[in-house]
Amino acid sequence: MKGISRVEMEKRIVRYGDLQPCRTAFIDAHTPGSNYKENFTIIGGGVSESPDQHVHIKETPGFNIGAAGQPPHCKNSLHLHTTAEVFFVLSGRWRFFWGLHGTAGEVICEAGDIFNIPTGVFRGFENIGDDYGMIMSILGGDDAGGGVTWAPQVIEDAKAHGLILGDNGRLYDSKKGESLPEGIVPMPLLTKEALKQYPEVPTSVIVPDYVARYWDMMALAKKAPCQVIGEQALIKDKPGFAVDFLTRGSISEEAYQTDRHEVLMVKTGHWTLKWLDDAGAEVKTSIAPGDVVAVPPNLMHSIYPSMSGEAALFRVRNTVESAGPTWMLN
C-alpha cells in the first residue's frame, strides 16, 4: 500500500467519545437487572439482534470489535458463542460468571485484565464497580460465529417482558406493537438433551489458562511486546486472531508494516499514530483510551506514546487460522 490520506484514515479510527450505543441490542433489554446495558459495534456487525444497532466500521478483518457499557449492578445474561469472545476491561470492575445457571465458576476482572472465554460455555457478566464501566470485545470470525445462543431461561424471562427473538435472529418488541412476521417463528429453546453438550467448567480450569492480568502484562511488556493470545502466548489459543500487549518500553517510534490487518485498542495513556499519506507525506494523529484504529495491511506506520506516564494498548492481528472452537481447553 502506497499510503492513505488523513481523511480516509480518520474513517478507520473510532474514538471513544464518538461511540453510538444501542440499548435494545439483545433479548434481555427489558429484563429487570439487564435493562440499562449499552452495546457498541465498532468493527463489524457483531452479534446484535436489533436493527437499531449502529455499526461504525462495516469492513471486517477476520474478527469483530465491540464493547459493552453498563452501570453498576447491571448484568449481561447467560449466553454462549461458537467462536472466540475475548474481553478486556477498559474501565470499572467486573464479575464474569459461567455455566448454564451461572454457578459453575466466576472471576473478578479489573481495569486492563483480559479474558478469553472458552467457546461452548454459557457466560454472563456484571459491573460490580461503583461507576459506569466499559469492556471491549473481540469476536472471532467475520460474522462473529453467526450470533448468540441464549440459555433457555433468558428467552423465557424476556418473553415475560415483551421481547421475542425470532428464528431469523431478530428481536420483536410487543411493547412497540411488533409481532413475528409471517413465516418467522420464535427461536426454539435448547432441549435438555442439547444442553448436555455444554460443559460446566470449574474456575480452577478456566482462570489460570484464559485470564491475563494487566500488571502481569505490563511487567512482561517492558522491553518487547507481550504475546497475550496465540499458539505460544500467555493464553494459548488460535481463534483466527492474535493479541499483543504494548507499552512504551516494548515499541519504538520506528515505522513498520505487516501484511495482516491490525487493530489498535488503547487501554492507557495517549499515543501518536504516524503513517504516510497517498502522496508519501508523513501524517500523524493522537489516539486515547477507548479509541480503536483499523490499520490496513501493508501500510507503513508507527505507534508510540505521546507523553510521559503509564501507556498500554492491545494490538490485534488476523491469522491464517479459521475462527472456531477454543483450541485447547484443559
Task: Tell me: do 258 and 281 sit in the same domain.
Answer: yes
Residue 293 lies in a domain: yes
Strand 226-230 relative to strand 235-236, pairing: parallel
Q: Is residue 138 part of a domain?
A: yes
Percent of the chain with pLDDT over 70: 99
Residue 137: the pLDDT is: 98
Query: DSSP H helical segments within the chain, as ranges?
Result: 6-10, 152-160, 192-195, 203-210, 214-220
- Asked whether residue 106 is assigned to any structural domain, the reply reads yes
> Residue 89: which H helix or E strand, with range?
strand 85-91
Q: Looking at residue 312, which CATH number applies to its domain?
A: 2.60.120.10
Tell me: do 28 and 67 sit in the same domain.
yes
Strands 312-318 and 262-268: antiparallel
Contact at 8 Å (CB) between 294 and 263? yes
Instruction: Give yes or no: residues 157 and 243 share one domain.
Output: no
Query: Can you give the length of the chain in residues?
Result: 330
Residue 260 and residue 241: Cα distance in Å, rounded? 10
Query: Which of residues 210, 245, 260 is at a domain's end?
Result: 210
Same domain, 289 and 148: no
User: Would you say the pTM of this structure is higher than 0.85?
Assistant: yes
Domain boundaries, position 264: 214-318
- pLDDT digit string (tens) for 235-283? 999 999 999 999 999 999 999 999 999 999 999 999 999 999 988 899 9
Give the domain-ending residue among 180, 210, 240.
210
CA 47 from centre of chain: 11
Higher pLDDT, 296 or 147: 296
Are both 206 and 70 inside the same structural domain? yes
Residue 134's H or E segment, with its range, is strand 133-140
pLDDT, position 36: 95
Task: Decide if pLDDT at 17 tops 80.
Answer: yes
91 and 62 inside one domain: yes
Q: What is the pLDDT of residues 89-115, one digit of tens each?
A: 999 999 999 999 999 999 999 999 999
Percent of the chain with pLDDT over 90: 94
For 198-242, the pLDDT digits (tens) are 989 999 999 999 999 999 999 999 999 999 999 999 999 999 999
Average pLDDT value for residue range 14-30: 96
Does 330 score more than 70 pLDDT?
no
- Domain end, chosen from 162, 190, 210, is at 210
Residues 170 and 21 placed together within one structural domain of the fold: yes
Same domain, 62 and 122: yes
CB 26 within 8 A of CB 148: yes
Return the C-alpha torsion angle 252, 253, 255, 259, nearest 10.
50
Q: Are residues 285 and 198 in the same domain?
A: no
pLDDT at residue 328, as a whole number: 80
Report pLDDT for 2: 80
**What single string gives the DSSP state of each residue in 302-316?**
EEEESSSS--EEEEE
Tell me, yes or no, whether 107 and 236 share the same domain. no
Q: What is the per-residue burial (b if ≥16 Cβ within 10 Å, else e) of 142-169?
A: bbbbebbbbbbebbebbbebebbbbeee
> pLDDT tens across 31-56, in order?
999 999 999 999 999 999 998 999 99
**169 lies in the same domain as 272:** no
**pLDDT at residue 21, rounded to an integer:** 97
For the chain, how many structural domains are there in total?
2
Of the pLDDT bands very low, low, confident and very high (cuts 50, 70, 90), residue 30 is very high
Same domain, 161 and 52: yes
